[in-house]
Every structure is written in structure tokens, then in C-alpha cells.
């Protein structure tokens, strides 16, 4: 059995579902975020009211981060907690590994998004989090996504992969 046939099903098996635990928009560049209880994701643009809302070709229409990674960042900085607003990601989710969404579409509330890449830290993390902030976020910055289908996203909404072709095990030859 070759490696592709072993790893393929593993990469496509994601029964876990996540939950939205925090939402924000960034109305203006370099200004404080606006914490929300609901946001509207507009296809090919991003979140309404977010300064980064852009074009259909933009790969960074929405940013997401794992709550578990926010906790890891706090731990690396020697803190009990970090305000997610300081990380400037639009959506914080818990209970699902966002990196497992690579090359996949996923639903959050009524919206459908598609992972487009990793969300690397910028020098602003050092400013927002203090010395070592940039390095604390490295490897834990979350993902970027584009909006495929418009819809509302609310606090507590489920985050789940959209399965296009479920992996099926063939019965053994008799």
C-alpha cells in the first residue's frame, strides 16, 4: 500500500465539529476591533464592516484562530489569558483543528468558507502582546479563508467540514 492511499483517507476524516467562541470585525486599519455577537459573511468579499473585506480574488477575506492556540500563546507569554482582540483574527473557534481544513470547504452558521492559507503573525503582534509576542504567535496564528456562500455567523455556531465525497472502505475481495 502506498503512502498516498494511507494518508488520503486520514486527511479526509474529520468527524469533529467546532464552535464559534468569539467574533470581531476590524472597522479600520490599526484601530481596535469591534467585538460582535453576529457577523454577515458576504460571498467573494468577507465580513461586512471589516476593513479587510475585499475582492473575489482575495485569499484573506476572513481570518480564524483556534481558542486552544490563543491559550497556548498566553502560556508562552507567561499569562493566564490573552484578549483575542489583540490577535486581530475575525473568528475564534474551539473543538476543531483549523489546519485540518486545508483544501476544504467548511460551514459556519449559514456561511460557507474555504481555507486559503495560514495566517502568519505580523510585527503588530510584538506591539500588541509585548516582547516575544511575534514568536509566541508563530505556528499558532490560525488560517485565512474566503467566503464561498454568504450567510450569518453567530456566537455558538457550529463549524464543520463539508464532505463532498465521503471516504468509503471497499469490502475485502472474496
pLDDT at residue 174 greater than cutoff 60: no
pLDDT at 173 exceeding the cut of 70? no
Condensed to tens digits (0 to 9), the pLDDT of residues 91-138 reads: 999 999 999 999 899 999 999 999 999 999 998 999 999 999 999 999
DSSP string, 17-85: -EEEEEEEE--STTS--EEESEEEEETTTEETT-TT---TT-S-SEEEEEHHHHHHHHHHTT-S---GG
- Domains of the chain by range and CATH? 16-161 (2.40.33.20)
Q: How far apart are CA 1 and CA 132, in angstroms?
A: 45
Judged against a pLDDT cut of 90, whether residue 82 lies above it is answered with yes
The model's pLDDT over 52-79, given as tens digits with 9 standing for 90+, comes to 766 778 888 999 999 999 999 999 999 9
- Residue 144 pLDDT > 50: yes
Confidence class for position 10, pLDDT limits 50, 70, 90: confident
Residue range 19-39: mean pLDDT, rounded: 94
pLDDT attached to residue 4: 65
**Residues composing the chain:** 174
Q: What is the mean pLDDT of the chain?
A: 90
pLDDT band at 1 (very low <50, low <70, confident <90, very high): low
- pLDDT surpassing 90 at residue 38: yes
Amino acid at each position: 500500500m502506498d503512502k498516498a492511499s494511507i494518508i488520503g483517507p486520514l486527511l479526509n476524516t474529520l468527524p469533529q465539529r467546532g464552535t464559534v467562541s468569539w467574533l470581531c470585525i476590524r472597522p479600520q486599519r490599526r484601530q481596535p476591533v469591534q467585538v460582535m455577537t453576529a457577523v454577515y459573511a458576504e460571498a467573494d468579499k468577507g465580513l461586512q464592516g471589516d476593513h479587510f473585506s475585499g475582492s473575489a480574488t482575495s485569499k484573506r477575506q476572513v481570518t480564524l484562530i483556534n481558542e486552544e492556540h490563543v491559550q497556548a500563546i498566553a502560556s508562552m507569554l507567561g499569562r493566564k489569558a490573552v484578549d483575542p482582540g489583540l490577535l486581530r483574527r475575525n473568528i475564534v473557534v474551539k473543538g476543531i483543528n483549523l489546519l485540518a481544513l486545508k483544501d476544504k470547504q467548511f460551514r459556519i452558521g449559514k456561511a460557507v468558507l474555504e481555507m486559503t492559507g495560514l495566517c502568519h503573525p505580523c510585527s503588530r503582534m510584538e506591539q500588541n502582546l509585548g516582547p516575544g509576542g511575534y514568536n509566541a504567535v508563530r505556528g499558532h496564528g490560525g488560517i485565512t479563508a474566503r467566503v464561498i456562500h454568504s450567510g450569518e455567523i453567530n456566537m455558538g455556531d457550529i463549524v464543520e467540514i463539508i464532505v463532498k465525497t465521503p471516504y468509503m472502505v471497499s469490502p475485502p475481495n472474496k
